[in-house]
Structure 1
Amino acid sequence: TIMHLFLLLILQATAAFGQIDPAHCRYALGMEDGRIKDDDITASSQWYETTGPQYARLNREEGDGAWCPEGQLEPSDSQYLQVDLGRLTFLTVVGTQGRYARNSGNEFARAYRLNYSRDGLLWKSWRNRLGNTVMEGNKNAYASVINDLHPPVITRYVRLIPVTKLSTTVCMRVELYGCPWDDGLITYSAPEGQLMMPPGYPIASLNDSTYDGVHERRRLFGGLGQLTDGVIGLDDFLLTRQYHVWPGYDYLGWRNDSLGTQGYVEMEFVFDRQRNFTSMKVHSNNMFARGVKIFSSVTCWFKPRLIAGWEAESVVFKTVLDDRNPSARYVTVPLNRRAAKSLRCRFYFADVWMMFSEISFQSGNTHTHTHTHTSFTFLPKQKNEITSYLSLRGHHTPDPDDPASDPPDDGNTPILIGCLVTIILLLVIIIFLILWCQYVCKVLEKVRRKRVLLRFSVRVLVLVLSYRTMTTLTSFRGTQSPANADPHYERVFLLDPQYQNPAVLRNKLPELSQSAEASACGGGYAEPDVTQCTPHQCFHSNAPHYAETDIVRLQGVTGSNMYAVPALTVDSLTRKDISAAEFPRQQLIFREKLGEGQFGEVHLCEAEGLPEFLGEGSPLPDRDGHSVLVAVKQLRADATSQARNDFLKEIKIMSRLNDPNIIRLLCVCVSSDPLCMVTEYMENGDLNMFLSQREIESTLTHANNIPSVSLSDLLHMSVQISSGMKYLASLNFVHRDLATRNCLLDRRLTIKIADFGMSRNLYSSDYYRIQGRAVLPIRWMAWESILLGKFTTASDVWAFGVTLWEIFTLCKEQPYSLLSDEQVIENTGEFFRNQGRQIFLYAPPLCPPSLFELMMRCWSRDIPNRPSFEGLYQALRPHVNQ
């Protein structure tokens, strides 16, 4: 009922708002805008007064433009730049630049390490999830490099330590990103996690792999780790939210009989100051079918000061065990406003195993009895925005580390009332959306109703269908027991190292017969017998598919994508076949290597005098003789004759493209080796990076100068991409790697479709490498492309639907992020079988329902049912000016 749904959403809201979110905790902490004062920035040394630590501010060029340590930096040196953030902070991102100094400097750090401290005395070295301590730095003096911290750290003091392999001069400018750490927790102690070796399942290592304290006598002391990293474990503890980690990574877990006869796990928590604790939230796994349950009860003792003894009066809380719903969940333990600086809690087992992924605390200040958290605590992102908004309006913002600055209770009342009113309004809107969606779904046909209702409701109302959806995901991932498994379902799509071509994969699919292929084709070349339609003869009525031997290889010689076009005869290719002008290669100034392939590289260069060289009709703006940025694909000297022919073929293909939304070939350097082609490059970079650094436009983004885009901007981008793809389709060109990473932007948000994504290390995780073949963007590929090796305009339409999904999620998430690469391939098998078990991408919250329905049409299982790019363009264009 509506009332049950209302109560369910309230419970979900209180749970979600109690936990920090690393994906949204990414606010600049004040180096660039001066909120971090000069006195809070120090260094081990400085070259001159004008290169002191106070000048290490990102995008600022005061003094001589950056902080530079004294003398040449040697490989054995440990010079550092230190920043005091003023309070405990959840640090998620570090940005660095070199010394540009208005084109007079050229010093930068190619790599650096990060040390941090919560008290200024004990320093710890940051390590990524694989144990590496060195982060990639800058490649030139002016471009900034942003490094996400995986895992994030909780700290007040930060040291950046430049690293070099050779004696050199380095300089740095820095910005730090994160949000306040209001929990106040500075250490927790617990028994070490243990191995779980269930029969028939992978071994799960349930240790705290990012713990930054001491490991001694099988206990953890004096640090923080995965219980405070903001990453909530999934329902199935063998699945993880991170790539390339082991099963069980997101959980810290213990076995009952391994801790003696005591039957409990004892943990201690130490805080930055004495607090009045209202509650503790423990995210616990509850997969009871494998002997895992939430704790049966917990007893907590309190210590007002570290040198005091534990108070005799404890708080006891018994949980209500649930043997029906295996979902992981937050358990909220009331702490009755007890005052303490340290807590000791004993969690009692309810089954063989107990597993935690996050623990957070809600508390108030002991001096003024005000809450820093309530039942309706803001997400870090919202809290930071409201704090900044109040400061802009002249309101006093209290410092949690300064008890004297805390306002009385009455000062918080308007904010609390505002929070409650906002939540009530959101609930009313959500209920309205449910009713509206039910009305629309009654009008639609039965199949469409099931799809749209499922996809739209899952994301707007997470809890309404979460159990059913997770049940589907669980059965798909093979987590059900063999006894309950569907005998008609087999895991046959795993790509082993011996996989070399689609024929091998077809041999693994008995049902992928010629008749089945023909039915999947939806047509054939004017042949009366469609059962004779082979995978390489299938085609869409508006987009013929060419045999694989007649298609330029998927990955070009430079590592970039290659358009699929009818075969070109390369034997007769000469300089006369290339219409692009010869540009003086000495006027190309190298700036950065974007990527590389087996026989070539892609460079970002400045081209001096290029607009004047191209003359009237140049696609580039007039820069008054100044250089412009271009992408240069260059063939290496060791390239084979076949690679040379492929490179010339790519030049000929590119020279045929002339559309305002397609990257153009500007000129070439082919009169001598190495062969080069020069194409456009937009100063705003690619669409994926552009959107991932922005939020949707709102009053708060305007008030806080947060980079943002409007819904109208997103629709305009979508129309431009569809226009460019409409042009490619009119030439029977098939892109084969359409994604936001391959769409470049200029300052006016004009989009040009490119093909550099495959060659860039930044997006290597978007591609699946198969031994003996090029890498494949499987999360963007249609099912027939993966299973049959069939690339057509219709498969580009599928990729366009995924690209739309990226745009309306602001590129905050990888498509099918909950599935591994192998599971994505398995899902394509479900599309082939067409038994209703295929998994679709969810409806992005920003996406209008009519637009999501258009995406679903792009992902139609039957190729003829997918729209053409002309139809997509006509459908999208009216939305732009609404």
Structure 2
Amino acid sequence: MLLYLLLAILQTNINGQIDPAHCRYPLGMEDGRIKNDDITASSQWYETTGPQYARLNREEGDGAWCPAGQLQPSDVQYLQLDLRQLIFLTVVATQGRYARNSGNEYARKYRLEYSRDGRRWISWRNRLGSEIIMGNINTYDSVVRDLHPPIITRFLRLIPVTDAIHTVCMRVELFGCAWQDGLTAYSSPEGQTMMAPGYPITPLNDSTYDGALERRKLSGGLGQLTDGVIGQDDFAQRRMYRLWPGYDYVGWRNESLGPGFVEMEFQFDRQRNFTSVKIHSNNMFSRGVKIFASVSCAFKLHLISEWEAEPVEFHTVLDDRNPSARYVTVPLKHRSASALRCRFYFADTWMMFSEISFQSATNVLPTQRPPVLTPPSYEVNSEVSDTTQITEDRTTPSKTGSPEEGSTSILIGCLVTIILLLVVIIFLILWCQYVCKVLEKAPRRILEEEVTVRLSSSSDTIILQTPPVPPRVSLDPPYERIFLLDPQYQDPAALRNKLPELSQSAEASACSGGYAEPDVTLCTPHQCFQSSVPHYAETDIISLQGVTGSNMYAVPALTVDSLTRKDISVAEFPRERLLFREKLGEGQFGEVHLCEAEGLAEFLGEGAPLPEQDGRPVLVAVKQLRADATSNARNDFLKEIKIMSRLNNPNIIQLLCVCVSSDPLCMVTEYMENGDLNMFLSQRELESTLTHANNIPSVSIADLLHMSVQISSGMKYLASLNFVHRDLATRNCLLDRHLTIKISDFGMSRNLYSSDYYRIQGRAVLPIRWMAWESILLGKFTTASDVWAFGVTLWEIFTLCKEQPYSLLSDEQVIENTGEFFRNQGRQIFLSAPPLCPSSLFEQMMRCWSRDIVDRPSFNRLYQALRTFAPHS
């Protein structure tokens, strides 16, 4: 069974769509595979600064390409490269003119133009519509830029941009891989917008299409269907670049297209023998979206010939049970063509595609095959059908053998490879089991031995630092190794750096009581517990493994001991009076349910912390431990009950009663009728005349400030008890009808917010976008790290939760950014000021994100400051 699974995985990799994260190979400027004849320019200053000298890390001629004269803002000078074949271009790296420490010219900004045929030139724009790419800040560093979206092209122009009169010089390297699909253009009806009650407006247009749009039809270009990024199962969710719901999909509504099908035409660079086409299609049938019912593809041998009479038809098996998006593979029966026309027939109201890729072999003679641009030192995993042709281009057999001998050698090689892979898989399984046991016993921390330091800053910029000495002397060729560890860029001088020691200021902050586990060798007990510094958690933290995977609070050991020695003082509620309404979420050891509690008000008596019911049933949240939970989880559950029974604050969810006389163990807490703050705010707009006139749900700035004050009040109370929440966010703040907020801990257990958590080894989850740098890198959770999360929570509130924090960064880039906070070299990325946020309030947020713990305000200070903004709170 394992062997069949392995073969299935290998087959999936062979037939998979191109992956931009791994298509990052140098195309040959530095090592000379791109020839001088293929590098031209609009002008050059001298013969010794011609375009042939624009090679990264090379010091030939006078060190770089320099256009003639000083460049003015209105000038258009360019360096042009002919790559001799279609390339999937993902990365551009640039340098200035170093010239053995005598150069002082570099391009601060530039833009790109590209062409697939050498005639029609297209200006590249990023996903936000900007043409400008930020370039170099000195003459010797290599600045590497990811292209989002990537470019499919043969010709490329780099055009320096200046804001004033400057002398400009450039050296460059390009990264990508061969575009084996051969697709040069597709045409289709324009994508449409889905508008449904209760759901966000979802534009399903092809927003990166580089062709023409005429009469609601796209033609002559490529776009999101060929960018290598597949859409999610839930198309309305925002993904890594978080632009708008549905961004990854192009979709059409059945009723708007008269024939009942979507017709698309595909043009290719040359005649090809097509084996199949793969279409990544959404199947969220609960929203009226299904994969296509059938497809009919016609073929054209030459672009000027007629469509052949006999099409290839394929009927899909519709799936009304699994809503997952999936690739649908359509066999094309080895038909030869240079163009295809496919009609995709609707199976429901909507049809949505995110990627289309073709598998084929080119119909050209061996002597006509273009070279494949892959570095000779790499093993490249090809993803096209004509693997034999690529192998012939890269290797030359030393002698001729019979087909039987070749087949036997290939079979033996495959068997040996499979056996080795099985050994590796067994080793990895055993290793993962060991690691998972470790993860169960301790919070995840990234140790010095584990961390690969990666350089990251805004807009996917990586600056590869080299000392100001001639690069050919001091620097190994960086692009021979840049992709060996993973697709993220590494420091070329040391691909696996160790984390440096804490800076002196960080050590001082630890001595000032900032960390949960202070090093007693750094200071005396008197110094470590000075009353002049913020009162943060200063003792060992006890982490209870609660129902949802972690408990609501991380509690100092001394506090736990004092609390758990006391008896439970919470009343036992008859469990038969709890009526199930909805499952809010689940974790490793239990579930959280929304229930009605019959007669709870009378059971608790006067003074019970219950909202006004007006005759309606009382809603409560019930944490229930699974019957098969471990004994440790059971003990932790009882400890959590004892701890929560001591909490009494109007802005903290309160434990009302328990059901512990029999299994399953339950604790009953408050639940607020308006749900969580994230959902509440994301469904509202800022209060205005327009919202009043159109009866649009809205909130005022005063409401937002009132909410902020309440959260700070609840956190001030927890900090006074030396409790650490560890997961403060709007998803963990509940509201009643009067906008009263109570802090809870249900967010981690709810599938709705699964994208807010970063999963490690398939088990541990961390809310990294809300976590302080020391929590991610060093595993330190303190009240100071809660202050950091509070700053992010304020940012959420004043963006009305319309966007996830660091929405333009992937999870991996968020973790890399914490390394910049650690190094403290001024390259860390901060959340930008929300438009609704007063500048003085944003200054408070920035103080919450101070690198050093002692520079962050206490919750008491934050509470007092926020009350000045909202004096009536």
State the TM-score, normalizing by the size of structure 1. 0.52
1:113/1:382 CA distance change after superposition, 3 Å: closer
Answer yes or no: is 1:37 the counterpart of 2:35: yes
Q: Secondary structure at the match of 1:72?
A: coil
Q: Matched residues in 2 for 1:502 and 1:257: separation?
A: 42
Query: Contact conserved, 1:767 with 1:776, CA < 8 A, in 2?
Result: no
1:832-847 to structure 2, matched below 5 A, reads: none
1:272 is displaced (CA, Å) by 1.0
2:103 is aligned to: 105
Return the letter of the residue paired with 2:26.
A
Q: Deviations over 1:294-333 (max 9, x none)?
A: 0011111111211221122221111111111101110011
Q: Is the 8 A contact 2:49 2:65 kept in 1?
A: yes
Q: Deviations over 1:33-64 (max 9, x none)?
A: 21111111101111110000000111212111
How far does the alpha carbon of each residue in 1:632-683 deviate from its partner, in whole angstroms, 9 at most, with x for none?
xxxxxxxxxxxxxxxxxxxxxxxxxxxxxxxxxxxxxxxxxxxxxxxxxxxx
RMSD, aligned α-carbons: 5.3
Contact 1:768 1:778 in 2 (8 A): no
2:848–2:857 Cα contact (<8 Å) kept: no
State whether residues 26 and 375 of structure 2, in contact with CA within 8 Å, keep that contact through their aligned partners in structure 1. no
1:277 aligns with 2:288: no
Amino acid across the alignment from 1:755: N
* Aligned with residue 763 of structure 1, among 829, 835, 839: 829
Cα 1:176–1:257, aligned 2, differ >3 Å: closer, same or farther? same
Closer, same or farther: CA 365–437 of 1 in aligned 2, 3 Å: same
Aligned mates of 2:342, 2:586 — CA distance in 1: 33
Q: Establish whether residue 288 from structure 1 lines up as the match of residue 288 from structure 2.
A: no
Residue 492, structure 1, aligned to residue 646, structure 2: no
> Does structure 1 residue 334 correspond to structure 2 residue 338?
no
Rounded Cα–Cα distance in structure 2 between residues aligned with 1:243 and 1:197? 22
For the Cα contact (< 8 Å) 2:79–2:158, is it kept in 1? yes
**Secondary structure, in 3 states, of the residue corresponding to 2:256?**
helix
Retained in 1: the 8 A contact 2:70–2:165?
A: yes
- Alignment match of 2:362 (pick from 361, 365, 375): 365
State the match for 2:228 in structure 1.
230
Out of 71, 78, 81, which is 2:79 matched to? Answer: 81
Q: CA deviation at 1:741?
A: 3.6
CA contact (8 A) 2:548 2:586 kept: no
What's 2:560 paired with? none
Inter-CA distance 41–364: structure 2 relative to 1 (3 Å threshold): same
- Relative to 1, partners in 2 of residues 1:412 and 1:196: Cα closer, same or farther, differing over 3 Å? farther
Aligned residue type for 1:210: T
The equivalent residue for 1:535 is 718
Query: Paired residue for 2:303?
Result: 306
Q: Corresponding residue for 1:145?
A: 143
Q: 1:421 to 1:120 in 2, by over 3 A?
A: farther
Structure 1 residue 427 displacement after superposition:
6.1
In 2: Cα distance, 1:382 partner to 1:420 partner:
27
Cα distance in 1 for partners of 2:235, 2:776 equals: 44
The residue number in structure 2 matching 1:159 is: 157
**Alpha carbons 1:195, 1:205 under 8 Å: kept:** yes
Worse-superposed segment, 49-58 or 119-128:
119-128
The answer to whether the 8 A contact 1:302-1:342 is kept is yes
Sort the Cα spacing of 1:428 and 1:191 in 2 relative to 1 into closer, same or farther, 3 A: farther
Determine the structure 2 residue equivalent to 1:386: 379
Determine the C-alpha separation between the residues in 1 that align with 2:308 and 2:844: 61
**What is the identity, as a one-letter code, of the residue corresponding to 1:288?**
F
CA distance in 2, matches of 1:286, 1:148: 31
- How does 1:260-659 map onto structure 2 within 5 Å? 260=258, 262-367=259-364, 385-387=378-380, 398=392, 422=417, 426=421, 429-430=424-425, 490-493=675-678, 494=681, 504-505=706-707, 534-539=717-722
Provide the C-alpha distance between the structure 2 equivalents of 1:33 and 1:276, rounded to a whole number of angstroms: 34
- Identity fraction in percent: 58
Is 1:773 equivalent to 2:842 in the alignment? yes
Task: Give a deviation string over 1:777-814, Cα, whole Å, max 9, x none.
Answer: 999999x99x997699xxxxxxxxxxxxxxxxxxxxxx
Distance in 2 separating the partners of 1:368 and 1:780: 62
Q: Is there any run of 5+ residues in structure 1 with no aligned partner, and where?
A: 373-377, 390-394, 401-406, 453-467, 477-484, 518-532, 544-719, 745-751, 793-882
SS in 2 for 1:14: helix
Cα shift readout 1:382-431 (whole Å, capped 9, x = no counterpart): 99932599xxxxx996559xxxxxx9999899678756864675467557
Conservation of the 8 A alpha-carbon contact between 1:191 and 1:265? yes
Matched positions, count = 537
Alpha-carbon distance between aligned partners in 2 of 1:41 and 1:96, rounded to the nearest angstrom? 15
Query: Separation in 2 of the partners of 1:317 and 1:778?
Result: 61
Give the equivalent residue in structure 2 for 1:60.
Answer: 58
| Structure 2 equivalent of residue 204 of structure 1 | 202
Is the partner of 2:829 in helix, strand or coil? helix
What SS is found at the alignment partner of 1:773?
A: helix
TM-aligned CA deviation for residue 165 of structure 1: 2.7
SS of the residue corresponding to residue 386 of structure 1 reads coil
Shift of 1:160: 0.7
Which residue of structure 2 aligns with residue 21 of structure 1? Answer: 19
Task: Confirm or deny: 8 A CA contact 2:112 2:131 kept in the other structure.
Answer: yes
Deviation of the 1:214 alpha carbon: 1.1
**Is the Cα–Cα contact under 8 Å of residues 286 and 293 in structure 1 kept in the other structure?**
yes
CA distance in 2, matches of 1:789, 1:136: 38
Q: Is the 8 A contact 2:24 2:91 kept in 1?
A: yes
Which of 248, 251, 256 lines up with 1:250 in the alignment? Answer: 248
Cα gap change, 1:764 to 1:363, in 2 (>3 Å):
farther
**Deviation per CA, 1:325-357, whole angstroms, max 9, x where unpaired?**
101110011111111111111101000000000
SS of match in other structure, 1:178: strand
- Match in the other structure for 2:453: none
CA 1:221–1:44: 2 relative to 1, 3 Å: same
Q: Take 2:846 and 2:15, find their aligned partners in 1: how far apart are those partners?
A: 35
Give, in angstroms, the shift of residue 252 of structure 1: 0.5
SS state at 2:298 partner: strand
- Is the aligned partner of 1:177 residue 2:246? no
Question: Which of residues 748, 754, 757 in structure 1 aligns to 2:823?
Answer: 754
Q: Secondary structure at the match of 1:75?
A: coil
Q: Is the 8 A contact 2:93 2:145 kept in 1?
A: yes
Question: Contact between 1:728 and 1:734, CA under 8 Å: does it hold in 2?
Answer: no
Deviation at 1:191, TM superposition (A): 0.7
Query: What residue in structure 2 maps to residue 191 of structure 1?
Result: 189
1:103-142 equivalence runs, <5 A: 103-142=101-140
- 1:139 is displaced (CA, Å) by 2.4
Query: Secondary structure of the residue that 1:39 maps to in structure 2?
Result: helix
Pairwise CA distance, 1:94 = 1.2
Residues 104-158 of structure 1: CA deviation (Å, up to 9, x unaligned): 1212222212110111122111111122212222222222222221111100110
| Pair 1:217–1:17, CA change in 2 (3 A) | same
Q: Show the counterpart of 2:239.
A: 241
Contact 1:535-1:788 at 8 Å conserved across structures:
no
Residue 71 of structure 1 deviates from its aligned partner by 1.6
- How many Å separate the matches in 2 of 1:222 and 1:344? 14
TM-score (norm 2): 0.53
State the alpha-carbon separation in 1 of the partners of residues 437 and 23 from structure 2: 40
Distance in 2 (CA, whole Å) between partners of 1:325 and 1:60 is: 54
